Structures are given as structure tokens and as C-alpha cells.
Amino acid sequence: MKRLQFLQKVTLCICTATLLIASATVEGRTKHKTPAAAQPQKAQETKPEETPAPTDVQPAPAPLPQPGALNVPVPPAPTLDAKSWVLMDYASGQVLAESGADTRVEPASITKVMTSYVVGAQLAAGKIKMDDEVYISENAWRGGGASTDGSTSFLALNSKVALKDLLYGMIIQSGNDAAIALAEHTAGSEQTFAALMNQHAQQLGMTGTHYVNPSGLPAPEEYTTARDIATLSRALIRDFPEEYKIYAIKEFEWNGVKQHNRNSLLWRDASVDGIKTGHTKEAGFCLATSAKRGDQRLIAVVMGTGSEKARADANQAVLNYGFRFFETHKLYDANKPLAQPVLWRGANDKIGLGLADDMLITLPRGRYNDLKATMELPSRLIAPYAKGQKIGVLRVKLDDKVLIERPLVVLGDEPEGGLWRRFSDDVGLWFKSAPTTETSAAPSTAVAAPAAPVQ
């Protein structure tokens, strides 16, 4: 009997201790809650003692109000006499205005932008070199040479030309013979090169595009969209900046013949540094341009206008519209903690959450201080988690409209804790009645001030 009473007392002591530990665990893990949504505050008004606890959502500092900034409405984009067009911000990739951006159209010589991209990728991989001597085949000579009606670099049959000169000839002179010769040298044939073009298009997310040849000469199954051309142009500028510099060159001489770049905006607007013209009877007059003013770069694509002047005027109009009424800001840096919520059953007490890539946003000028950012996180986070695993969402809104949404990811591996840690947390979780699958908003409206200028 005495032995039984002793065991009962020991059991009671263990249970009491467990309850005290669980109570302390719950209290310690819930005393710091994610703050509710609030308007951004001035950075200089934050006092040291008001710094959020480590478990709080921690976005970057709020922006300072801009003195005299007015909420000026943005007018509609200009109306263009074109089959389709699109205006894109280079840094954020946001489409600022468009008309029929996903309509299938014939690409004409704008196809050569993808040819240039593929050649750039092969150069970067070391598979071809700028000083390669490229053989000018009969196919290149007959298909795109001086005897054709299309644009040409006047390459001589059976001659050898440095790859660099062919690249310049294709980009500046829009030489069809140069494009064909580059394709044959890079992939062995136009058909194989076209397959490479389509593979790159798929990787870049160009869902409305299909290539048949490297020159853009008319073909029934060759098509693209204004949006896809803008996407490709952005990738070219980003991935091969040295090659992109060729697009700004106004003239190029080869074999005694000097030809001017057909992009007339290079002469009209000093901020324009590319990209490519195109024209066939079916496609009309097309032009993809890019311009940089200050720290902002825009990409405009206009397809199917009635004349060379019309395509230049249309591109100029949408570029001016974009620069006048929109601005781009960097909100958050990649791989920096924006939230450090409680982690259960883990080796650490908290888990760091952030973005896999920098977050940039384009919005109407003067509206930066009106942005609101919210985070949506699960109510419970239970280890283990792997680095890069998606947990929750960060949304940025303007006037209750979501402008951009990105997943929050785990910034480092978070393994399970030891046996005692898991046991005590399990007891603590038992006292928390909320189900582990419940999702609740954990908002924070602080929006980061611009960091380095957006390039």
C-alpha cells in the first residue's frame, strides 16, 4: 500500500511539472503576436524601445512622405493604329498598358531577336566564338542574299565571314543571309536552329510563339505575340547586356556597303538603345524598342502599323506615356527576413521567412506612399522545413487592388528539435486549440523605401 501511494505521488508530481512546462511553453511562444495591419509610419518616428520583438513580422522601413506629392490620376494609354502592342517595365516585368498583347501575329524580322538570343546563349556556353570563321552556304546566299527582295548583308557565296561580323550584320542591317549563316554554323541547319529557338521560347515563358526559321521570312507556322516579344526583349537585355549594345549602333559597313539601322528612333530619341524592326506585307510595319531615362527602362512593342513613320510614332507615344506616368521601386531584398514567426518542435524557436528574389514594383507616379503590403501565414508552423520551402504569401496592394504577389520562403533549413523539445512542444500544442491547418492573415503594411536605383 505504501509503495502504491508513493508511485501515485510521483505521478502527480510529474503531471504537475508537465502542465507547468506546457503552460510556460504556450505563454512564451504566444506572447509575441504578428502585428495587425497599420498605416506606414515615418522612419524617424520609430523609437528604439518600439523596435518589434524578434518574432514579429519585420519588413523594411516605411517610406518617407514626399512633400507636395499629389495623387494625380493616370490617363488612359494612347490609342494606336496597330494590330497589337504592349508597354512593359524592364525592372519589374509588369505590363503597364497593352492592346491585343496576346494576339498571334507574324513576327517578320523581329524574329532575329530570338536568333540573337540563341547565338548569345551558345557564345556564353563556349560552343561558338566571336572569331569563328563562318561559311556562307548556297542556302544562306540564295535564301537571304543580294538576289532576294528582303534585307541582306550582301554576303558572298562560298566565302567565310567572322561570326562577329555576321552578328552585327543581322542586328544592324537585318541581314537575312547573316541570320541563316549564323543558324547553320550554330546548329548545323535552319531546322535544328529553329528547334533551339522554340526551346528557349518555352524556357522564357513565351507561350504564344512558334519559330520556323531564324530570319523571319514568311512561313505559315511562324507566329508570336507582342507580349512574348517584350518578354524576349527583357531577357536579351538582362542575360546578354554586351550583345544588346550592338542594337544601339546606327550603321554598319560590310563588303564596301554601308547600311543604316532601320530603327529610326535611334536618331530621334537619345534614350532609345534598341531593339528591332520588322516588315512584310502580311505583318505590316513592326517595331520593338527599349529606352532608358534616368534609372527607369521601358520596353515597347508595336505590331502591324501602316508605315515606317507610323511604327516609330507609335513606339515613341507609348514610351513617353510610360515614362511620364509610371515609376519603379525596389520594395524588398531577396533572402532577408521579413517575418520570424514561432516555430514548434524545431531546433530553433523561430523560423525566418523572406523572398527568393528581389521584389520590384511599377506603379503610377506619386502613389508610392499609398502602397500596402500584407503577409498571410499559417497559424502554426511545425518543424521540419527545408530552405526554399514556400510558406505563406506576401501581397502588395494599391487601392485594394493586388499589384504583385510573391510566395514567402524558408530562408534556411529548420530541422526538428530534440526529444524533450518535441515532447514539450507537443504538450504545448495540445493546449492550443487552433487546428494546425488553419490559415490566417498576418498583415504588415510597412513598405520598403527604395534601395539602390532600379537599373
Active site residues: 109, 112, 174
Burial 411-431 (b: 16+ CB within 10 A, else e): beebeebeeebbebbebbbee
Distances (CA, A) of 343 to 26, 60, 173, 412: 12, 22, 61, 13
Note the helical H segments in 338-453: 419-431
Q: Which residues contact 119 (CB under 8 A, 6 or more apart)?
A: 128, 163, 167, 182, 186, 243
Q: What is the largest CA-CA distance in the chain?
A: 115
Distance from C-alpha of 328 to C-alpha of 213, rounded to nearest angstrom: 36
Residues pairing with 85 in the sheet: 99, 302
Residues pairing with 303 in the sheet: 84
Looking at the chain, how many residues does it have?
455
Distance from C-alpha of 14 to C-alpha of 145, rounded to nearest angstrom: 92
Burial of residue 315 (number of CB atoms within 10 Å: 0-12, 13-18, 19+): buried
Q: Which one, of 357, 371, 360, lies nearest residue 330 by Cα?
A: 360
Residues pairing with 86 in the sheet: 98, 301
End-to-end CA distance of the chain: 82
Report the amino acid identity of residue 93.
G
Cβ atoms within 10 A of the Cβ of 225, count? 23
Burial of residue 335 (number of CB atoms within 10 Å: 0-12, 13-18, 19+): middle
Distances (CA, A) of 436 to 276, 382, 424: 54, 8, 17
Q: Which residues contact 10 (CB under 8 A, 6 or more apart)?
A: none
